[in-house]
Amino acid sequence: MKKAIYSFALAIGLLVGVTSTASAQEAQLPAAGTNIRDQASLQRGAKLFFNYCVGCHSLKYVRYSRLAEDLGLSEDEVMKNLNFTGAKFGDAITSRMPEDLAQQYFGKAPPDLSLEVRSKEQGPDWVFNYLNSFYLDPSRPVGWNNAVFPNASMPNPLWELQGLQTAVKKDGSDEVEKLELSQPGKLTPAQFQQATRDLTAFLEWASEPAALQRQHYGIWVLLFLAGFTFLAYLLKKEYWRDVH
């Protein structure tokens, strides 16, 4: 009996420890503040993705037709403004970069971003902060580094919008203390954060397009269960009325 109690206490302790560690890690990154139910935000994020990201990255688990349906766009709008590969409306979203060219320049094909948000422990918060944390680093092959993902192998795709950031490091270490904007971009810092929030929201939607429908149907399921529970309670009272 004592052994069982000890094992149970140990399991609870480990669970609390893991939860505390996860909470501490999550507290390190500011919240993205995304909202996948904001259709305008998703549309702006899609525009950014197809203008700055699809040249290297694909969304192979998302089709243009589903994109149009969920983002409130017509087939004509999608095919004219977001399709740069000549794909059909029902095709999956692929990168504009041929695989052999990707191998030549990067050594491997840039990753597909369909599940990028879901693959990260901190989800959209990680992606949002990653997009905001590029800085110039002449020691890196591409001339860029990232405070959230050190030694990242890709340059800042949004540098024209954000501008150029430089890192202020702690004395005697390579740890980045803060980032400073050394050259402004086309957007103000607040506007750029909103742009990366929109892009993150779009990638969050792409990671699970069914989330919108799931949340919509979830409300009706809960209402059904509540009504069924009430009817079951009335039925139980009727069955047990003569017993009591």
Tokens standing for 47? 């525009």
The β-bridge partners of 168 are 178
Q: What are phi and psi of 167, to 5 degrees?
A: -100, 135
* Residue found by looking up tokens 């004509």 in the block: 76
Check the annotation: does 57 bind a ligand: yes
Q: Binding site annotation covers 239?
A: no
Torsion of CA 153, 157, 160, 165, to 10 degrees: -40
Which residues neighbour 163 within 8 Å (Cβ) at sequence distance 6 or greater?
Answer: 181, 182, 183, 184, 185
Q: If you count DSSP H runs as helices and E runs as strands, how many of each does the chain have, helices first?
A: 10, 6
* 3-class DSSP state of 135: strand
Tokens read off for 49: 């993705």
Q: 29: burial class by Cβ within 10 Å (0-12, 13-18, 19+)? A: middle
- The answer to whether the annotation marks 21 as part of a ligand binding site is no
- Feature table: binding site: 53, 56-57
- Feature table: binding site for heme c: 53, 56-57
